[in-house]
Structure 1
């Protein structure tokens, strides 16, 4: 099935598309809710230009990869857009990553430079060229400010939107360990155009709360790029804390709030403390994990706002389906309608045939937003995008006769902890490093607040007492980012596996 395409996709690079419409230079663009620090549209454009010029003087350009490792801020945005202005590719690093995880991403992406803020600098591997987003990495170190003060201006760069990779976020795809997703300028520009069909009330008068992290494609593309493109005010939260979240909505009267289902659980069940005033919220958008319809209804009634849900994945840049601002007639538990320029199928995994309305199948998508592929991983790319150009999402969905889609489960093995992707294979590799563990598997257990929690199934080595559950939890915790921690341990006699050795997760007693 195909959706309608309202107009041609412009042949733009990302930065030119985001800032295609000039804005009054004194209009606030990004404000830090924690400090009140504000960048106007004029200041943002000037800093991007100056930092890009300084980076070009350092030799940065097309073919280079720059890593951005920081919390949500105006400085993050400057580093991102300045890097893209040079023709370089930006790889986005999870701000919770440990030093070994950061090192692995830098080595795999072949990043030649890292931008990092004060919170993340201690976890940048020693010897890595680094520029501080807010403070220098050491005596005499450079910062965004020192680069801008050099007075260089960016030179024009030839960028091929269809071929040149703009972003290199990491995703676990449908299974397995993390892979680098190559998103071209055209992928991202196309997806911004696709989202125009959904964000019909996003204007230069909108005030957007940016709580999803910018290192996630949801935060970068849906929150940051689309909001600045509209000329809106972006209110950033460095990290999510519920009290700070409520305070930001109250103080800045944000009318569009982006979040994930665990945040909606808090809004539904927590007392709205003190003088919290959420009356300005018109739209609350949920993404990164499926949203329960009853929960959505509770929050909508409590806040007096419209709940909107979208579906996508990093490999789709990210949106393929969403509920438009103006469609109050669609079920709040659905992920809405297909984006323009999208061909989609719902395929029965057992037969390979299209599943009709009301039947469950795997969602396949094809369109200009589909990634170029996984970096240096042709096998994984071929396993995800078929010969006809359809990306197999690994998610199980149902659709009605009008094409309204509802997510009902997934084929893929990823665990979604508070909207973060947690690949079981990665945790299993960590568990197997423990000398007292003979075998291990990890699966997700449903959790009301987190969505899912990772549960480890552990077979102790014969002889000796073996590790306790607490020892297993601690062993994993010091080796992975906080959102990847194992949250529960069950000791079992064996791990169920197929004849080929594949873990049969459906047989684990979660």
Structure 2
């Protein structure tokens, strides 16, 4: 799951709400709803907060509603093609290999024809894309979509067993990978007991094609293709098009069914927030975050190709490459996760002058403290830092921050045509709680997934009636209607019945001048049940003792939040490709 976590004040006096009209596309509330008195006895000023006796408080979007276009993803991306068909669409920062929009379109269509005719893939069949960020990634994805197929995106650094399990669950019929990853993919097919065709991308033209592999570049050549052979299956926009797997915070990853309408409406929700079409220039985006993750797939790749942006693909994150793409290629938008933001804060060569055209820095996917935000804005005062909240299950964006606001530390307000509410954390109560009340965030909107594939138990757990999706995240919204997400329900550390959010302590630890990174995990205790333990990475060339770190935190938190589980110094904090702390791995290593 893709998430945004921030530290914030959890408790404040309750206030009153008033009724507002429900945004178009959202389910109408009880028309008899009226403003409800609270302890303050005042009407709440937030006109986007509605109340009814039956459902409680529901937060509406501050944005105008978006229209559900009811078109497939490929038609959505190509709808304005003629406006920028000669512009560069995707370029590899390392090799320089690039495609114009016209070339990207032709290659995608050529692939679609060959997938249907040569490999006889029927409508609805699944193709797996197991690639790093390359300029051919959108060709593989959009070609498969145009052929009427479903795409499951695979992390290319997965083990053979992990890939094999995804091939089984998704019932994959065809795979796109690289020459470097071919051996692992073959092993994954053997593990899954599947004999599948594997097309590979060669990094260099003279690179040898592995025995048994199919040359991807031969499949996308426009030469010799009869485009009239392409079958239009008249695909239902409410049918599944992408099958990413959630990152599995608890249990094994789950297959998330995202429809054409999920993806396209989320693209328009993002555009309504940033209004990039109005910039009058071609936006330039570094493609650093992995396209196999929904953040990279839709927020960076698909939604930005739909507005004619230029993607500079980067197969891995390297500091010198980030500096190059910001300076030489004049990137205008940068999507990052907190470790990248911290890198930008700490790296002496990364100055505002290095990134003269950069306007927006969008951050999400993992915790970042308010003090880190302040440090970033102090170093880059002319850049607009915007946070958001999303999940694989919401395509991904559910909350977003308007550009003309000063709620920098907030995860935002509901995206266009989206509703949100905070409910009690007992997993049963569905009535929306008022402002400044902590609980579980639930969202409802056209970007919410169709459901998990073949997993009735997980679907029953994540959905409340009437389309409400339980995010599993804890937070609240303030008097202005801005949400603050503080932690995961299942990651809370329970000390003598008190709940300790790891993200709160992690943000505090990162404020320590000697600490570069930190994670907090629970360790079992016979008396308290659990105790928080800090796993800490020190800054280069500095020293600190366990007592230093313990006392620093103890002076700033309540008794039950102290690091009584201890402090462990490590060389690095394990994270997944989106920057999320891998708590399972940390617990296995350091919780005993």
Provide TM-score, normalisation by structure 1.
0.80
Q: Between 159-168 and 24-33, report the one with greater CA deviation.
A: 159-168
Which residue, 406, 425, 449 being the options, matches 1:349?
425
Which residue, 393, 398, 409 being the options, matches 2:487?
409
Which residue pairs with 1:130 in the alignment?
198
Shift of 1:12: 0.6
* CA distance 1:269–1:362, change in 2 (3 Å): same
Distance 2:306 2:238 in 1: 22
Distance 1:274 1:191 in 2: 32
Which residue pairs with 1:267 in the alignment?
344
Q: Between 178-187 and 152-161, report the one with greater CA deviation.
A: 152-161
Distance 1:354 1:7 in 2: 24
Q: Does 1 or 2 have the higher relative contact order (CA < 8 Å, sep 6+)?
A: 2
- SS state at 1:266 partner: helix
Shift of 1:215: 0.4
Deviations 1:90-127 (A, max 9, x none): 00001221111111111111101110023322320344
1:75·1:134 contact (CA, 8 Å) conserved in 2?
no
2:388·2:399 contact (CA, 8 Å) conserved in 1?
yes
> Do residues 85 (structure 1) and 150 (structure 2) align?
no
Which residue pairs with 1:486 in the alignment?
585
* CA distance 1:262–1:193, change in 2 (3 Å): same
1:174·1:414 contact (CA, 8 Å) conserved in 2?
no
Which residue, 377, 386, 389 being the options, matches 1:311?
389
2:344·2:350 contact (CA, 8 Å) conserved in 1?
no
Alignment of 1:41-52 (within 5 A): 41-52=101-112
* Unmatched tracts of structure 2, length 5 or more: 1-57, 188-194, 494-501, 511-515, 526-569
> Do residues 331 (structure 1) and 399 (structure 2) align?
no
> Do residues 19 (structure 1) and 96 (structure 2) align?
no
Which residue pairs with 1:142 in the alignment?
214
Distance 2:87 2:80 in 1: 13
Alignment of 1:64-79 (within 5 A): 64-79=125-140
- SS state at 1:230 partner: coil
Deviations 1:325-364 (A, max 9, x none): x31x232111112111112111122482422111111110
* CA distance 1:266–1:183, change in 2 (3 Å): same
Q: Between 120-129 and 278-287, report the one with greater CA deviation.
A: 120-129
Shift of 1:408: 1.2
* CA distance 1:70–1:46, change in 2 (3 Å): same
Distance 1:452 1:67 in 2: 33
Which residue pairs with 2:267 in the alignment?
192
Distance 2:289 2:107 in 1: 24
Shift of 1:257: 0.5
Deviations 1:56-89 (A, max 9, x none): 1121231210000011011111001101111110
Shift of 1:226: 1.4
Distance 1:275 1:387 in 2: 48
Deviations 1:418-461 (A, max 9, x none): xxxxxxxxxxxxxxxxxxxxxxxxx9994855664778989xxx
Shift of 1:152: 3.8
* CA distance 1:185–1:298, change in 2 (3 Å): same
Distance 1:229 1:190 in 2: 12
1:172·1:414 contact (CA, 8 Å) conserved in 2?
no
Alignment of 1:357-436 (within 5 A): 357-413=435-491
- SS state at 1:252 partner: coil
- SS state at 2:274 partner: coil
Distance 1:340 1:358 in 2: 22
Shift of 1:222: 0.2
Distance 1:41 1:401 in 2: 45
Which residue pairs with 2:318 in the alignment?
241
Alignment of 1:19-38 (within 5 A): 19-22=78-81, 23-38=83-98
Q: CA RMSD in A?
A: 3.0
Distance 1:210 1:129 in 2: 28
Which residue pairs with 1:103 in the alignment?
164
Deviations 1:152-210 (A, max 9, x none): 42624234444321100000467322100000111111211222221223555211112
Which residue, 67, 70, 95 being the options, matches 1:8?
67
> Do residues 293 (structure 1) and 370 (structure 2) align?
yes
Distance 2:491 2:164 in 1: 25
Distance 2:75 2:186 in 1: 33
- SS state at 1:407 partner: strand
Shift of 1:290: 3.1
Which residue pairs with 2:20 in the alignment?
none
2:283·2:332 contact (CA, 8 Å) conserved in 1?
yes
2:182·2:210 contact (CA, 8 Å) conserved in 1?
no
Distance 1:95 1:456 in 2: 32
Distance 2:198 2:520 in 1: 34
* CA distance 1:174–1:455, change in 2 (3 Å): closer
Distance 1:363 1:451 in 2: 25
* CA distance 1:7–1:391, change in 2 (3 Å): closer
* Unmatched tracts of structure 1, length 5 or more: 416-442, 459-472, 493-510
Shift of 1:134: 2.9
Distance 2:585 2:460 in 1: 31
- SS state at 1:388 partner: helix
Provide TM-score, normalisation by structure 2.
0.70
Q: Between 210-219 and 280-289, report the one with greater CA deviation.
A: 280-289
Shift of 1:323: 1.3
Shift of 1:225: 1.0
